[in-house]
Amino acid sequence: MPGLTYDDVGATRPAEDPWLSRPAGYRSFERTVALGAAPWETVSEAVMQWQVKRRSGFTVLPAARATEGAHYLLTAHIGPLRIREPVRVVAVVDRPDRRGFAYGTEHGHPVSGEEAFIAHRTPDGRVWLTLRSLTRPAQGAWGWAFPVLLLAQRAYRRRYLRALRQDPSPKSAP
């Protein structure tokens, strides 16, 4: 089995709010957007079904709910290019007011680090989506492309944060 490409496994801490402990040596990112009065069960299940990634232009295989310890292959579709990103889910949170997961990069991924998608709701019923990531250059062939990958990452983050704003209901997997 391919191994993770970083040592700080679980460092995006999807179960915690706020995110207080961020390891050194990574570019860290956190952003939260309001999803308004979207139905909690619909939004949180969409997060667990990888809809944030799928609606942002990725294929996710297997087409299964995020499960801790499971391996997935994410494929970014950029015009005619297909960029394969092997990952493993390293943490899952599933509470009545907070649901999400973090995945870590495996060998062959263009960057090294971790990303988390977290749905949460406040006592007033409002639903939120939080994106967290820790990124550094990958070892090997992708290392040279890190500056370009950071630009792509910025563009994808904008897509992620918009992915569930319209219709958060889980769609069938591609």
| Number of structural domains found in the chain | 1
Q: Which domain holds residue 65?
A: 27-162
Of 165, 154, 152, nearest to 76 by C-alpha is 152
**Residue 91 counted as domain residue:** yes
**Residue 10 counted as domain residue:** no
pLDDT class of 77 with cuts at 50, 70, 90: confident
**Residue 5 counted as domain residue:** no
d(CA 25, CA 95): 31
CATH (domain of 76): 3.30.530.20
Full-model pTM: 0.89
Question: Residue 40 has what pLDDT?
Answer: 92
Question: Residue 156 has what pLDDT?
Answer: 84
Question: Residue 168 has what pLDDT?
Answer: 61
Question: Residue 171 has what pLDDT?
Answer: 59
**Residue 13 counted as domain residue:** no
The CA-based angle 38-18-56, given to 5 degrees, is 45
Task: Evaluate whether 34 touches 122 at the Cβ level (below 8 Å).
Answer: no
**Residue 133 counted as domain residue:** yes
pLDDT in tens, 42-59: 999 999 999 999 999 899
